[in-house]
Amino acid sequence: LEILLAEHSGFCFGVKRAIQMAKDASHQNQPIYTIGPLIHNPQMVNDLKEQGILLAEHPEALHDATVIVRSHGISKAEREMLVKNSNRIIDATCPYVCKAQDFVKLLCLEGYAVIIMGDKTHPEVTAMLSYCDENTSVVSNADELPEQTWNKLGVISQTTKNMAALRDLVQKLVPNVKELRLFNTICSATTLRQEATTALAKKSDLMVIIGGHNSSNTRMLAALCAGITETLHVETAVEIGLEQVSAKHSIGLTAGASTPDYLIVDVYNRINELTGDRTSVKSVEDIPVNKEESC
Amino acid sequence: LEILLAEHSGFCFGVKRAIQMAKDASHQNQPIYTIGPLIHNPQMVNDLKEQGILLAEHPEALHDATVIVRSHGISKAEREMLVKNSNRIIDATCPYVCKAQDFVKLLCLEGYAVIIMGDKTHPEVTAMLSYCDENTSVVSNADELPEQTWNKLGVISQTTKNMAALRDLVQKLVPNVKELRLFNTICSATTLRQEATTALAKKSDLMVIIGGHNSSNTRMLAALCAGITETLHVETAVEIGLEQVSAKHSIGLTAGASTPDYLIVDVYNRINELTGDRTSVKSVEDIPVNKEESC
């Protein structure tokens, strides 16, 4: 049995930055609060809790507190409320998400109707929407596009969406627009991770996707792999049973942008243990990586 | 044998307008000159000659003359030369082509690199290019796109190109751009004509495409039909022989934007004559039109 990890797995730049900013702030010996989970990974959120980084149950009740804005960003109204209540804000919004927010503001200001490709309820999208006017709509993919024509249409994407889906959406719009202004806000980490994952899936009997079931980008990895080979999406190692990994010759691992390295290590060791291999690693750097050129 | 004419065949709005402007001007009892053929149809150009509308062999030699700018437009340098030489300009540039020129100017002014989908040597495209800077390139289709990335890319099309080709070009660009601003300058007459032609081709044993061999939009109709059924591109009726139309059950006719009605009538009558049918019509209005919903 060969177990390989896809390149570009795990924490992205924005997530690493948000966690570092939270940890730096927690040195101040007073709790700091996050509006929504800091990252979309329940295990990591529990770890942070032990370091005094707490999920605010009622953000509107926070006064004079230290509050961290997570990498997805927050809505205009939430930000205004936090400021009004004299909280100190540490803004860990991913710089790529900030850019997407700026672009959506620009499009609205310049009179474009806007289509956001994303998940209606994802915090990144709801934050974006808070800066838009009523001429903005959210669609998951090309199939959800309304049958209409536009004089001036802006298009933008949630940063962790799939490039092929954006291409499909844009080409479908072309005959129905006089002007289309696309800001391609899919972040490069997302694209690289998806490409490396796809390449590994093509040569694996089984792909194990590690990450929060509430993580949009992790679910996207699972969906991509499911179209190629047998696929298992787990949050932690214990979810994997012998029946799933026995009789496999090649297992591929990948992890979403909000999956900490130790969960990847746990999964790798668990599969080896289940299949009777004594190999056990301490660090993600010790797991063999699939170095094949991505597609 | 059934012979049907595709809807939206023949002169488009811009061509009708240019011919009317030329004829109106020719009432002044002095020759008027066109820079390049007024429309891309040799037969029509000959007819106009008899009405005193002459093709200028050496535009730079024109002084104090009446000059008509054809529907394709002319380059910035040509216009400046005509003005400098005290000519009176009648501007019959198609309003849709004017718009495309305005958009290309806007894109250059706002710092976009520009890709024009069109024929490098077509007068509409060379006129557009004269308003661009060195960051502009012309491609016929998606296959000719350079392998590179762009921060700010503008895309525009020759007005008579195919919508599916533009969709394909744009979708291919999506992963390689941060911002893409498309002005969809394909004119609706072109799209309607192509759709109606495709619909008729699907139910015809033979499609006869009538129009100048030098007409871009006519050649596009021929290319579309050739993918569907047996196709014949002719400028005039005499090019059709018995061997091409005998043993056919349904023949479809269509004509480019620069094809005058009488050439369509000639072709219709010629096919009937060759196949032994005595039917002869005087006007294009008497030819049965394929009224099926276009695709």
Asked if A263 and A255 count as a contact pair (C-beta separation under 8 A), the reply is yes
Chain A interface includes B183 (CB < 8 A): yes
Locate tokens 């820079």: which residue? B35
Is B171's CB within 8 Å of A175's CB? Answer: no
Q: For residue A3, which of A207, A262, A154 has the smallest C-alpha distance?
A: A207
Q: A91-95, A199-203, B46-50, B99-103: which has the minimum mean pLDDT?
A: B46-50
Residue among A78, A124, A195, A235 flagged as catalytic: A124
Is B163's CB within 8 Å of A179's CB? Answer: no
Mean pLDDT computed over A218-223:
94
3-state helix, strand, coil in chain A (%, to 5): 40, 20, 40
Q: How far is B232 from chain A (nearest CA, A)?
A: 28
CA B38, CA B34: separation in Å to the nearest integer? Answer: 6
Chain B interface includes A177 (CB < 8 A): yes
Cβ-in-10-Å burial (0-12, 13-18, 19+) of A243 comes to exposed
C-alpha distances out from residue A24 to A49, A52, A87, B208, Å: 14, 11, 17, 75
Residue A247: left (phi > 0), alpha (psi -120 to 50), or beta? Answer: left
Top residue of B115, B141, B168, B182 to mutate, by most chain A CBs within 10 Å, is B182
Residue among B7, B78, B124, B235 flagged as catalytic: B124
Mean pLDDT computed over A230-243:
96
Top residue of A115, A166, A174, A179 to mutate, by most chain B CBs within 10 Å, is A174
Angle between helices A13-26 and A42-50 (to 10 degrees): 20
Q: How many CB atoms are located within 10 Å of the residue A227 CB?
A: 9
Angle between helices B216-226 and B188-201 (to 10 degrees): 30
Q: For residue A217, which of A196, A193, A188, A183 has the smallest C-alpha distance?
A: A193
Mean pLDDT computed over B187-196:
90
Chain A interface includes B180 (CB < 8 A): yes
Is A184's CB within 8 Å of B177's CB? Answer: yes
Angle between helices B13-26 and B42-50 (to 10 degrees): 20
Express each pLDDT in A245-294 by its tens digit.
Answer: 999 999 999 999 989 999 999 999 999 999 988 889 999 999 999 986 53
Q: A5-9, A215-219, B35-39: which has the minimum mean pLDDT?
A: B35-39
Q: For residue B172, which of A168, A204, A114, A248 has the smallest C-alpha distance?
A: A168
Identify the closest residue of chain A to B152 by CA–CA distance.
Answer: A183
The contacts of residue B148 (CB under 8 Å, 6+ apart) are: B176
Which pLDDT value is given to residue A295?
37
Which pLDDT value is given to residue B27?
72
Is A174's CB within 8 Å of B183's CB? Answer: no
Is B174's CB within 8 Å of A180's CB? Answer: no
Mean pLDDT computed over B108-118:
97
For residues B257, B260, B261, B266, the Cα torsion angle rounded to the nearest 10 degrees is -120
Chain A interface includes B174 (CB < 8 A): yes
CA B9, CA B3: separation in Å to the nearest integer? Answer: 14
Task: Give the distance, in angstroms, between the CA of residue A107 and the centroid of all CA atoms in the same chain.
Answer: 24
Chain B interface includes A184 (CB < 8 A): yes
Enumerate the residues of chain B whose CB falls inside 8 A of the CB of residue A180: 170, 180-182, 184
First and final C-alpha spacing in chain A: 24
Asked if B252 and B228 count as a contact pair (C-beta separation under 8 A), the reply is no
Asked if B165 and B171 count as a contact pair (C-beta separation under 8 A), the reply is no
Asked if B48 and B38 count as a contact pair (C-beta separation under 8 A), the reply is yes
Q: How far is B128 from chain A (nearest CA, A)?
A: 18
Type of residue found at A166: L
Q: Is B93 helix (H, G, I), strand (E, B) or coil?
A: coil
The contacts of residue B27 (CB under 8 Å, 6+ apart) are: none
Of B163, B171, B183, the CB nearest to A167: B171
The DSSP code for A60 is G
Express each pLDDT in A18-66 by its tens digit.
Answer: 989 988 888 767 889 998 888 777 888 888 888 899 999 899 999 999 9
Cβ-in-10-Å burial (0-12, 13-18, 19+) of A22 comes to buried
Q: A151-160, B9-18, B20-29, B273-282: which has the minimum mean pLDDT?
A: B20-29
Express each pLDDT in A152-186 by its tens digit.
Answer: 999 999 999 999 999 999 999 999 999 999 999 99
Type of residue found at A187: C
Is B174's CB within 8 Å of A184's CB? Answer: yes
Top residue of B169, B184, B294 to mutate, by most chain A CBs within 10 Å, is B184
SS (H, E, C) A125-191: HHHHHCCCCCCEEEECCHHHCCCCCEEEEEEEECCCCCHHHHHHHHHHHHHHEEEEEEECCCCHHHH
Chain B interface includes A274 (CB < 8 A): no
Q: For residue A212, which of A44, A57, A34, A13 has the smallest C-alpha distance?
A: A44
Q: Is B125 helix (H, G, I), strand (E, B) or coil?
A: helix
Mean pLDDT computed over B76-86:
95
Which pLDDT value is given to residue B292?
65
Residue B295 pLDDT more than 50? no
Mean pLDDT computed over B52-65:
92
Q: For residue B71, which of B201, B238, B190, B223 has the smallest C-alpha distance?
A: B190
Residue B293 pLDDT more than 60? no
First and final C-alpha spacing in chain B: 24
Tokens of B236: 């005039």
Of A171, A179, A191, the CB nearest to B170: A171
A residues 129-148 closer than 8 Å to B (CB) = none
Type of residue found at A248: K
Q: How confident is the model at residue A205 (pLDDT cuts 50, 70, 90)?
A: very high
**What is the predicted ipTM?**
0.84
Chain A interface includes B170 (CB < 8 A): yes
Kind of pairing between the strands at A88-91 and A230-234 = unpaired
Express each pLDDT in A77-135 by its tens digit.
Answer: 999 999 999 999 999 999 999 999 999 999 999 999 999 999 999 999 999 999 998 99
Asked if B104 and B153 count as a contact pair (C-beta separation under 8 A), the reply is no
Identify the closest residue of chain B to A191 by CA–CA distance.
Answer: B175
Tokens of A128: 């974006």
Residue B124 annotated to the active site: yes
DSSP A213-281: TT-HHHHHHHHHHHTTSEEEEESSGGG--HHHHTT-SEEEEEE-TT--HHHHHHHHHHHHHHTT-----
Chain B interface includes A182 (CB < 8 A): yes
Identify the closest residue of chain A to B182 by CA–CA distance.
Answer: A180
Chain B interface includes A163 (CB < 8 A): yes
Is A182's CB within 8 Å of B177's CB? Answer: yes
Which pLDDT value is given to residue B235?
94
Which pLDDT value is given to residue B207?
98
